[in-house]
Amino acid sequence: MGSKAWQAVLDNLDEAAELAKLDPDVHRMLRTPRRVLEVSVPVRMDDGSVEVFTGWRVHHDTTRGPAKGGIRFHPDLDVDEVKALAAMMTFKTAVVDLPFGGGKGGVRCDPRRMSLGELERLTRRFTYEISPILGPEEDIPAPDVNTDGRVMAWLMDTLSMVQGRLLPGSVTGKPLSIGGTRNHSGATSAGCLDCARVALRELGIPMAGSRAVVQGFGKVGGPLAYLLASAGMRVVAVADIGGAVHNEGGLDIQALSEHVAETGTVAGFGGGDDIDGDAIWDIECELLVPAALGGVITEEVAERIAAKLVVEAANGPTTTEAQGVLDRRGVVVVPDILANAGGVTASYFEWAQAQQAYPWDDGVVAERLRQRMERAFTAVWARAETLGVDMRTAAYVVAVERVADAIAARGLFP
């Protein structure tokens, strides 16, 4: 999985470099991550034995600012996947014009099989091992797959203890009690909604009454389904790891959320018909949102998709081959590095507030998020029209040009 993801990032970069007429030297620099730190993470388990996990923190490019990117705990994680995700963060932060570079990290482990104590000891030891490259001006982690505000609090506390000073700006996605922000958790979903709204407007499709299908009902898919329904769309199908549910008249998202809280899956929800998880790609709709893991839209799936618009809430849900199929079929794709950049934008806001030691009002945060997402969408849409390419290619062109400008301005040390 990881090597394919890294290759896909390089393919996107190469294509954008050609269209942007990128300096070959800068191109070579961007094809290689700035630093890859691999660490061993020994953890004393509850039974008294010591298990040794492997962890990584990758800085892809830090020309525009400190590295920014999530920490994930997953049994299938490998270094190529972390590199790919770090590079995507370089381009994602550039697309929404944030003063950050790209980073990513994680530990290869299965957190579902660990107690809370084991998880805390794992987090703290991993943080200690990568602490030389962390800090508010160096690298600012955030939650990602299988990590949350509690993990971020342990991370911040560990780093603060190591350095002997309080470092609230060293992580984002923290609990409110230690300087987190209310808007952080739902910001990825809110940013996706902003992109969907503007894209539907550009395509001349009214939002009210249009049908949406959401694949994934977790941290992003759940709130997003609710936001889409609140914006007047009919969410006709939702899928998760346990199955899928379909109702042509629109699902009651609040009731579905309660069902998921009780049972752990959307399957078996009384307000719709159970369907096979794979069947959701065939459902006719105006908007399809992949909001689970990467690589789910393959060439074969792309041939079946019956939506006019795909907004990628997940990271890397569409394979390179599948993008070609969707282009041929005239399906508009708002790519992940633009569509789900609401999360990192909210992280930027949280970091800025920590640096200022002054919280902003909720209304200010929401308005600034909407403005940034719409501005980024407009820039990418315009570039796609000018170059006659799909939005993914255009997003990479916009991002690569911004990073290249920063590299040119700073020059090469020494």
Q: Phi and psi (nearest 5°) for 92?
A: -65, -45
Side-by-side strand order, sheet with 285-290: 273-275, 243-246, 234-240, 211-215, 285-290, 307-311, 332-334
In the set 104, 174, 219, 308, the catalytic residue is 104
Q: Note the pLDDT tens digit of each residue in 11-39.
A: 999 999 999 999 999 999 999 999 999 99
Average pLDDT in the 138-149 region?
95
Amino acid 208: pLDDT: 94
Displacement of CA 320 from its chain's centroid (Å): 18
Amino acid 185: pLDDT: 77
Q: Note the pLDDT tens digit of each residue in 91-101.
A: 999 999 999 99
Q: Note the pLDDT tens digit of each residue in 296-318.
A: 999 999 999 999 999 999 988 99
Predicted TM-score (pTM) of this structure: 0.92
Q: Among candidates 143, 215, 244, which has minimal Cα distance to 185?
A: 143
Average pLDDT in the 396-409 region?
97
Q: Under a CB-based contact definition with an 8 Å cutoff, are residues 225 and 253 in contact?
A: yes
187-339 and 33-178 share a CATH fold? yes
* Assigned token pair, 67: 């590295």
Q: Under a CB-based contact definition with an 8 Å cutoff, are residues 60 and 103 in contact?
A: yes
Q: Phi and psi (nearest 5°) for 106?
A: 170, 175
Amino acid 1: pLDDT: 64
Q: Note the pLDDT tens digit of each residue in 175-216.
A: 999 999 887 878 999 999 999 999 999 999 999 999 999 999
Q: What class has domain 33-178?
A: alpha beta
Homologous superfamily, domain 187-339: NAD(P)-binding Rossmann-like Domain (3.40.50.720)
Residue 104 known to be catalytic: yes
The residue type at 217: F
Side-by-side strand order, sheet with 50-61: 35-44, 50-61, 101-108, 67-73, 139-143
Residue 45 has pLDDT above 70, yes or no: yes
Q: How many angstroms separate the Cα of 275 from the Cα of each of 17, 243, 340?
A: 43, 7, 27
Q: Phi and psi (nearest 5°) for 36?
A: -125, 115
| Residue 277 burial (CB count, 10 A) | 18
Least confident of 59-63, 184-188, 206-210, 393-397: 184-188
d(CA 249, CA 388): 37
Helix, strand, coil distribution of the chain in percent, nearest 5: 50, 20, 30
- Reported for 361-368, long-range contacts at CB under 8 A and 24+ positions apart, including other chains, are 362/182, 362/183, 365/181, 365/183, 366/183, 366/190
Share of the chain above pLDDT 70, in %: 100
Amino acid 87: pLDDT: 96
- Determine which helix (DSSP H) or strand (DSSP E) holds 345, and give its type and residue range: helix 342-356
The mean pLDDT of the chain is 95
Q: Note the pLDDT tens digit of each residue in 273-285.
A: 999 989 999 999 9
Q: Where along the chain do its domains lie?
A: 33-178, 187-339
Q: How many angstroms separate the Cα of 113 from the Cα of each of 28, 151, 395?
A: 41, 16, 39
